[in-house]
Structure 1
Amino acid sequence: MLPDAGAGGASPLGRFSWAMFDWANQPYFTVVTTFIFVPYFTSTVVGDPVLGQAYWGYTQAAAGIIIALMSPVLGAIADAGGPRKPWIAAFVALCVLGSFALWWATPGMVVGEGLLTIMAMLVIGTIGVEFALVFNNAMLPGLVAPEKLGRLSGFGWGLGYIGGLIALFIVLLGFSLPDTPLFGLDKATHEHDRIVGPMSAIWFAIFIIPLFLFTPDVGRRGLTKAESVRQGLAALAGTLGRLGQYRNVVAYLIARMIYNDAILAVIGFSGVYAAGIFGWTSTSLGIFGIVVTVFAAVGAFVGGSLDDRLGSKPTILISVVGLSLATLGILSIGDGVVLFGIPAAMPAEGGAPFAAPAEWAFMVFAVIMGLFFGPAQAASRTMMARLAPPGMVTEFFGLYALSGKATAFLAPLTIGAVTAYAGAQRPGLAVVLVFFVIGGGLMLLVREERPGDAG
């Protein structure tokens, strides 16, 4: 439910239009980087699930390094210059470009014949959407009263998951399940998998429009672009020099840096792992995605209220524990067993989807995983909105993006390296448990400061 704005907040249409950003961008994460395109990329474009998982890890590592280096800089410049919408427009355009280009990712590509170009387009799409998120997130504190931040953040994430769910249904019913997909696409050349790139690009370009029309933005500060850059860089340098004054915020950013690595890795590699161990097609992956997304939406809506009642910190910690258990459960499946020892038949070649006990167990853990995705992401955003100093919100959301990406290359890089070294997927994915444990432990040290708290 969309929360009231409180004193000085945006109109209901303005708040809903802000939340539509999550609806607009979520198909990129859902059908491109998680459930449909990336499993197709690793298993079919590359042609080897193990090598493909390694390449995907390297791609996300490259994007993570760029985002980590540039997000705080861009946030500081935006705080100096004023409006966030022009930045959002520019980076949405970048994501649309990268996403649309995935149509040309054909089966059996090799490094010297276009594979690096496709990997570059994945990097461009990812940095576009992630940079846009920095500026969209920074608009949140100006839209509702502080005590209602959790509900609006959770509403946005929940709306986003519903958008991703609808996108998955469109892919399944329109392209994956029919013998003849919409628009006469050719399944033999995997056009039904490749179409998700252009579809996500068009979706993003259309549904971002309400934010530009109806959501209020901060005014211009009368600076030229060059002055904004100089002042923004100077402000960032000053903030970095004074980080000792924001020790609690820094502690939170470090904790999030670690546990968010694990969350992004689980989101990004769960479909890849399932495609590798079960041989799932895009249809099975789409159904898996629908299940995860349904429960993620439920978790986001419920988690928003939980955030405002219990606080962001307890909501994050509960979510980290739940995601850790779900990941451990997923890793326990393989070689004809679940829970590391209970016999469970794997799917037979050519068998019906989800007919094997091992697949049932995987889906149980997928439901648990989905339930904790939404609260973890929504409460993390709310925690930053509560802690950011007034007048420095975008700059601190830039640091927030930095904390989300500064080591975000490390988890995919480690997964890729361990996978390549071990020649198997399970050891590579297992490294995320280390990130969950460290990040959750550090989060225990963070002090949540609500409006009116001392210090």
Structure 2
Amino acid sequence: MTTPDHQASATAPPPDSTTPIRPASWRARISWAMFDWANQPYFTVITTFIFAPYFTAKVIGNPVDGQSLWGFTQAFSAAIVALGAPFLGAIADAGGQRKPWLFVFQLQLAFGCALLWLAQPGQPQLLPLVILGLVLANIAAEYSIMFNNALLPALETPRHVGRLSGIGWGMGYVGGLIALFTVLIVSQPELIGITPPPGEALLGLKRDAFEAERVIGPAAAIWLGIFVLPMFLFTPDRPGSGRPFRDVVRDGIGRVINTIRHMRRYRNLLRFLISYMIYYDGLVAVIGFGGIYAAGIFGWGTTELGLFGIALNVIAIPAVILGGWLEDRWGSKRAVQLAILLVAFGTLGIASIGPGSVLFFIEVAPRAAGAGLFSSPGEQVFFLCAALLGLGMGTMQAASRTLVARLSPPDMVGEFFGIFALSGRATTFLAPLLIGITTAVFATQRIATIVILVFLAAGFVLLWKVEEPARP
């Protein structure tokens, strides 16, 4: 059933619409999905499992202070993204092409990653450059995702767009999995029976200078440069308008202002964007702070965090592909609701774990010094809870992307993906900021999970009133 406020997206598209009657070629679609493969290691290895815990525990030297600083850094980046996303998306709509914008921001992402090599403990004079690299990379990664998302509706029919979105996220998780495995082998070659010279990892990287952790940034930049090429070569872009850039910018800014003034015309989409704004805050926070929390509670290092990330990605890959299939059968809204519940239960379980307890009240033996990997009951329960995160987090993101494609008017896809990025970032700084503040005030990392649960619950409740349009 079609509601009045999304009739524009449910009726036949105008002649210049980007909605295809038939899907693009398989090479174009797979090349588009390769973008996720190319970009995901940044999120998996840098902002989640390896570099973030290394930064907080080793570079800063104190998990509590490090988590607080990381939260402030993420919050600042998110605020910049929120301010610019709708305008950049609308400008791209007015100019037609998305790939030139993608090229610029992918270069910025690579440069920001390269700066992370400077993150060495005991070198406080380099810390501003490291933080600059994090901020540049965070901003560029989010803007890149926005423009890549805007290419999606032109590649697949509306009925099967969820499947392509899920394949993209699934390929991203595979890329992240390979990157994590590579980091583990380079930093801990003993795991596969290779014994490097004393004090070294593979490739001659010095352990006492943490070069195996620091090289992650430049390596991610090289990975990005190689694997993003198919998207630029084979995925079609909209034709350019041929108008002067100044006119395109003026038109784009005017579009955003006009859309905001008349947002009541898109009430259903607005309801979803508000809901997404809140539950995505919680998702970003649990992804960004999960590894940091584990490192602080259990003292995990690169090996444990890498294996944990690999396990999480192994779970997420089939889950997100199955989620895309479920979207096309049951609808994107239901897929998002299921994913929120999975992430919320997983987060609640993590919140219940302390160094010597699980499920809040059950006392267990803490991890013993020199014990085997994941040998303590707390670590094992943490793994079970994290499995729920793996089942839900990819589907939540992929289904949300699909829902925007289905709700947006065909000739305003870029603008609404920009507003989608805005809604995902308008308050995304709030969860890391609250985590940073509450962690500093209460001097405990566990408070972060309580903040995350509040955001997930509020977003889930608001999503009930969103009406998904009937699919052809």
> TM-score, normalised on structure 2?
0.93
Task: Determine if contact 2:186/2:203 at 8 Å carries over to the other structure.
Answer: no
Task: Work out whether 1:327 is the aligned partner of 2:347.
Answer: yes
Residue type of the partner of 2:184?
A: L
Q: 1:335 & 1:34 partners in 2: Cα distance?
A: 21
Task: Work out whether 1:433 is the aligned partner of 2:453.
Answer: yes
Task: Work out whether 1:245 is the aligned partner of 2:259.
Answer: no
In structure 1, the residue matched to 2:315 is 295
Q: What is the RMSD computed on CA atoms of the aligned residues?
A: 1.2
Tell me: CA distance 1:20–1:53, structure 2 relative to 1, closer, same or farther (3 Å): same
Q: Give the % identical residues.
A: 50
Q: 1:223-249 CA deviation, whole Å, 9 max, x = no partner? A: 111111011111111111110100110
Task: Determine if contact 1:47/1:108 at 8 Å carries over to the other structure.
Answer: no
1:106 to 98, 102, 120: 120
- Number of aligned positions between the proteins: 446
In structure 1, the residue matched to 2:284 is 264
Task: Determine if contact 1:249/1:387 at 8 Å carries over to the other structure.
Answer: yes
Task: Work out whether 1:70 is the aligned partner of 2:90.
Answer: no
In structure 2, the residue matched to 1:206 is 226
2:149 to 128, 137, 142: 137
Task: Determine if contact 1:46/1:109 at 8 Å carries over to the other structure.
Answer: no
Q: How far off its partner does 1:318 sit?
A: 0.6
In structure 2, the residue matched to 1:95 is 109
In structure 2, the residue matched to 1:117 is 129
Q: 1:343 & 1:191 partners in 2: Cα distance?
A: 38
Q: 1:161 & 1:171 partners in 2: Cα distance?
A: 15
Task: Determine if contact 1:146/1:451 at 8 Å carries over to the other structure.
Answer: yes
In structure 1, the residue matched to 2:7 is none
Residue type of the partner of 2:259?
A: T
Task: Determine if contact 1:150/1:307 at 8 Å carries over to the other structure.
Answer: yes
Q: 1:44-63 CA deviation, whole Å, 9 max, x = no partner? A: 00000000000000000000
Task: Work out whether 1:172 is the aligned partner of 2:192.
Answer: no
Q: How far off its partner does 1:346 sit?
A: 1.9
Written as runs of structure 1 = structure 2, the 5 A alignment for 1:302-451 is 302-451=322-471
Task: Work out whether 1:152 is the aligned partner of 2:164.
Answer: yes
Residue type of the partner of 1:104?
A: L
Q: 1:62 & 1:81 partners in 2: Cα distance?
A: 29
Q: 1:419 & 1:33 partners in 2: Cα distance?
A: 19
Q: 1:430 & 1:345 partners in 2: Cα distance?
A: 24
Q: 2:455 & 2:188 partners in 1: Cα distance?
A: 35
Written as runs of structure 1 = structure 2, the 5 A alignment for 1:41-80 is 41-80=55-94
Q: 1:270-321 CA deviation, whole Å, 9 max, x = no partner? A: 0000000000011100000001111111211110001111101110011101
Point out where structure 1 has 5 or more consecutive residues left out of the alignment: none
Task: Determine if contact 1:39/1:271 at 8 Å carries over to the other structure.
Answer: yes
Task: Determine if contact 2:189/2:202 at 8 Å carries over to the other structure.
Answer: no
Q: How far off its partner does 1:349 sit?
A: 2.3
Task: Determine if contact 1:79/1:394 at 8 Å carries over to the other structure.
Answer: yes
Secondary structure of 1:392's aligned partner: helix
Q: 1:330 & 1:116 partners in 2: Cα distance?
A: 32
Residue type of the partner of 2:80?
A: I
Q: 1:310 & 1:107 partners in 2: Cα distance?
A: 50
Residue type of the partner of 1:264?
A: V
Residue type of the partner of 1:214?
A: F
Q: 1:364 & 1:346 partners in 2: Cα distance?
A: 17
Secondary structure of 2:411's aligned partner: coil
Point out where structure 2 has 5 or more consecutive residues left out of the alignment: 1-18, 191-195
Task: Work out whether 1:275 is the aligned partner of 2:295.
Answer: yes
Q: 1:325-352 CA deviation, whole Å, 9 max, x = no partner? A: 0000011110411111122222112322
Task: Determine if contact 1:176/1:192 at 8 Å carries over to the other structure.
Answer: no
Secondary structure of 2:48's aligned partner: coil
Q: 2:360 & 2:226 partners in 1: Cα distance?
A: 46
Task: Determine if contact 1:9/1:145 at 8 Å carries over to the other structure.
Answer: yes
1:81 to 76, 88, 95: 95
Secondary structure of 1:425's aligned partner: coil
Q: 1:139-170 CA deviation, whole Å, 9 max, x = no partner? A: 00000100001000000000000000000111
In structure 2, the residue matched to 1:8 is 22
Task: Determine if contact 2:177/2:313 at 8 Å carries over to the other structure.
Answer: yes
